[in-house]
Structure formats: structure tokens, C-alpha cells
Amino acid sequence: MFWLTLPFLFQGAVMFFDEFYFHRKRGLPMWERIGHPVDTFSVFVCYGYLLYFPFNLSNLYVYSGLCLFSCLLITKDEFTHTEVCEARENWLHSLLFVLHPICFLAAGLFWWQGVLVDFLKIQTLIILAFMAYQIIFWS
């Protein structure tokens, strides 16, 4: 199951490049300064849910709903991104859109199997720290 950590690492690398290259290069308007931490919070809620609720069918339905909401939420800016971002940044976003549900699926498998719980805890803390960075840096 350890190989299922790879999508998280790849997602982190892509997100790092998006944030520290493209966002710094073009700057973020107010709607992104607010919207990006909201997106990150939706991921935090999904991973946090796994840490506080045991795996069962009812909780799986809730987790699936949270993940679906997050997957839809992160696409909210793409209508505007096509106007303000260069093609390479939009391509990077497409990678993130593919990796987002894959990471949720991998996290759900860890939860179901009761494995790599420490990895999920660390991932949740990383997401929380990234959200704090987004709020503080872009304020």
C-alpha cells in the first residue's frame, strides 16, 4: 500500500510549482486569495474526517460526499483562469484535477484498511499548514 503515497507526493510537487512559480509570477486577485484557502479547507475536511470517524458504510458515504464536493469546488475558478493564466498553468491545473480524486481514493483505501494512519495524519497537517500559509501570505 505504500506505493499509494506516490499520488500525494506528485500532487504536492505540482501544487508547490503552481503556488511558488505561477501564483508568484502573476500575483493573485482577491477572488483567488479567498478561493484557494477555501479549496484547501475542503481537502482538510476530507482528510480530517478519516482521522476522527471509523470506517463503516455510513461514514464511507459521508466521506464520498465530502470528496465529491471538494472535487467540484476546486474547479470553480477555471472559467476565469482561462483568461488570466497562461496555458502551462492551466495544464498544471488539469494535473491537479486528475490527482485530487486519486489522492482521495488512496486516503480512503488507507482508512478502509487501517494502514498508513500516520501518513494520513501528516498529510492532514501539511494541508492545514498550507492553508495557513495561503491565508497569511496572500493577505
Distance of CA 24 to the CA centre of its chain: 19
DSSP letter (8 states) at residue 29: -
pLDDT band of 82, cuts 50, 70, 90: confident
pLDDT band at 12 (very low <50, low <70, confident <90, very high): very high
When the pLDDT of each residue in the chain is averaged and rounded to a whole number, the result is 95
Looking at residue 15, its pLDDT comes to 96
Asked if the model's pLDDT at residue 80 lies above 90, the reply is no
Mean pLDDT of 102-128: 97
pLDDT digits (tens, 9 = 90+) for 52-78: 999 999 999 999 999 999 999 999 988
DSSP-based three-state secondary structure for 56: coil
Render 80-128 in DSSP notation, one character per residue. HHHHHS-HHHHHHHHHHHHHHHHHHHHHHHHHHHT--HHHHHHHHHHHH
Provide the whole-model pTM: 0.95
